[in-house]
A and B are shown apart, each in its own frame.
Chain A
Amino acid sequence: MRFESLLDSVGGTPLVGLPRLSPSPEVRLWAKLDDRNPTGSVKDRPAFWMIEKAEKDGLLTPGCTILEPTSGNTGISLAMVAKLRGYQMICVMPENTSAERRQLLEMWGARIIFSPAAGGSNEAVRVAKGLAAENPDWVMLYQYGNEANARAHYESTGPELLADLPTITHFVAGLGTTGTLMGVGRYLREQVPEVKIVAAEPRYGELVYGLRNIDEGFIPELYDESVLTTRFSVGSRDALRRTRELLEQEGIFAGISTGGALHAALGMAAKAVKAGERADIAFIVADGGWKYLSTGAYNGTLEEAEARLEGQLWA
């Protein structure tokens, strides 16, 4: 496959069957390997779409500074696109994210401003909004509310999935900005009657939920409950266990949030088997495991790995 430049190669990722983890020939699981994107994550899609949109709208002009709250992947993707398009990149990132993410961000030329660990991405969003108000010339693309984030998936991920798997019955993905689920979900609902759209939301350790008040919670502006069929909360133990199973059974080395999506996908598969229905369940491999090696997710027992992940943002 030949492309004019790296940015032209975003998307078009393989969809691979999981013959060992699928419960039966009638109920099959499919992994969309979105770690096979330029910076190694699904976020290259929204990053590219959001920057293109901002350029088209005249928001971004050469030499501009982009600011974004991100727990890592979106920042890395934006830094890569920004570098190629000639923008400065500043990421606001919670301090409890893996060391690899910082190194990758710096490698692609981003400046990092850390937000406090307590409160997780909520805090990063709050800090970024404050910085944006103080620096009106900085451009915040704001992945949580930017329609181009969801549209990236509506225009690319969704059509790719349907082309490769016309018999799709379920789509499962991690819930963060909600962009993947909203975009793919809307596209598939238009094309496939009765398709089920399932969210796997990461459930972190205590620290991440250390808000001062329950009224300070956060729901991304992109989120539209009506697109989803259901939503599961997946704890770090289940996510880790499934991440290891994916490696063990199918040879796929994925990041921890993918284990969360697989957990929900297997739950839906079990339901289909019980109901005696056929199913083709696709889920997103949002990134590879490389960025999580230092978290110890792949070493020792599950209990040890879980303890090491406590208080870390793994999606």
Chain B
Amino acid sequence: MAIEVRIPTILRTYTDGNKVVEGKGATIEELFADLDSRHPGLRERLVDEKGLRKFVNVYLNDEDVRFLGGLETELSDGDTVTVLPAVAGG
């Protein structure tokens, strides 16, 4: 099951500079574990023991996963997951 994952600039040190990486998993949690097996350290930048880190936003096909199922949000083949740092607007 291939999921396209978009990585923000500040985390590309973990993906050899790659902007987009592929991963697999039935949930966000599994996807992050899969990514971490090839990009060690990445998972720890995204989650802590309480779940998604405070300033990390993760979107499944542009929808914030915090309003879906959090780390248990289910994924399907062809989905796009975008990781972004929380920034100010206004």
Binding site for B on A (CB under 8 A): 69-71, 73-74, 119-122, 124-125, 143-144, 174-177, 179, 201-203, 206, 208-220, 225, 228-235, 315
Contacts and interface: CB of A to CB of B under 8 A. Distances in A.
B90 A176 contact: yes
29 contacts: A69-B88, A71-B90, A73-B90, A74-B90, A121-B88, A175-B89, A176-B88, A176-B89, A176-B90, A177-B89, A206-B9, A209-B9, A209-B85, A211-B10, A211-B85, A212-B10, A214-B45, A214-B53, A214-B56, A217-B54, A218-B86, A218-B87, A225-B66, A232-B62, A232-B64, A233-B57, A233-B63, A235-B62, A315-B89
Contacts of B86: 217-219
Given A206-B9, A214-B10, A120 B62 contact: no
Contact of A228 (B57, B67, B88): B67
B90 to A, nearest CB: 4
Contact of A120 (B55, B68, B84, B88): B88
B82 interface: yes
B90 A70 contact: yes
Given A70-B90, A231-B64, A231-B67, A203 B54 contact: no
A231 B65 CA distance: 9
A121 B90 contact: yes
Given A74-B90, A209-B9, A210-B9, A217 B85 contact: yes
B55 A217 contact: yes
Nearest to A223: B86
A220 B88 contact: yes
B10 A209 contact: yes
Contact of B63 (A179, A206, A216, A232): A232
Contacts of A228: 67
A177 B90 contact: yes
B51 to A, nearest CB: 13
A213 B67 contact: no
B33 interface: no
B32 interface: no
A214 B88 contact: no
Contacts of A120: 87-88
A230 B64 contact: yes
| Most chain A beta-carbon neighbours within 10 Å: one of B57, B68, B88, B90 | B90
A143 B89 CA distance: 10
Nearest to B89: A176
Nearest to B56: A214
B63 A231 contact: yes
A232 to B, nearest CB: 5
Nearest to A235: B62
Interface in B47-82: 53-57, 59, 62-64, 66-68, 82
